[in-house]
Amino acid sequence: FLSGMDAAASFGEPLSKAAKLDPVYGEPELRKDFKNFREGGSPVKANDKSDMWSLGALLYEVLTGRSFQSLVVNGEFDETSRRTAAHELAHSGVRSAWKDLVLQLLELNREKRISAVEISHRLRNFLSVGPY
């Protein structure tokens, strides 16, 4: 995971109970499921879309120059945080294609979040157009 190598596992493999997930860059759904696992719930499996979340957090910082942590209120990233991220991206002069990509990476619903394959197709187009 981009959120911590001590939590690294192959996609589909269970995470170790000893793993430490980053409270800022770790995907909210993964952190919630992992907390339940550590409290006796079902094992949590590594998911590629969790990494896409972390990528969105990092791209937000790179493109805006602002800390992603400032969007996390009371330990949670919610729809209000997402709207704030959209506002900050728009006011940072980031091209709308990049803004849309970051927001798709920060989609709270994992099933609706953009995949790595979809990103690779978009990046080809982004990079051929020029600076972000």
What digits encode the pLDDT tens for the residues 63-92?
A: 999 999 999 888 889 999 999 999 999 999
Q: In angstroms, rounded to a whole number, what is the distance separating the alpha carbons of residues 68 and 79?
A: 14
Is residue 3 predicted with pLDDT exceeding 50?
A: no
The model carries a pTM of 0.83
Burial 58-72 (b: 16+ CB within 10 A, else e): bbbbebbeeebeebb
Of 127, 94, 130, 105, give the one whose Cα is nearest residue 48: 105
CA dihedral in degrees (69, 75, 79, 81; nearest 10)? Answer: -20
Return the SS3 of 76.
strand
Sole residue written with tokens 């942590």:
69
Helix (H) or strand (E) holding 34: helix 28-38
What pLDDT, in 10s, does the model give residues 21-63?
888 888 999 999 999 999 999 999 888 899 999 999 999 999 9
Quote the tokens at residue 68.
Answer: 């992603």
Is residue 123 predicted with pLDDT exceeding 90?
A: no
Is residue 5 predicted with pLDDT exceeding 70?
A: no
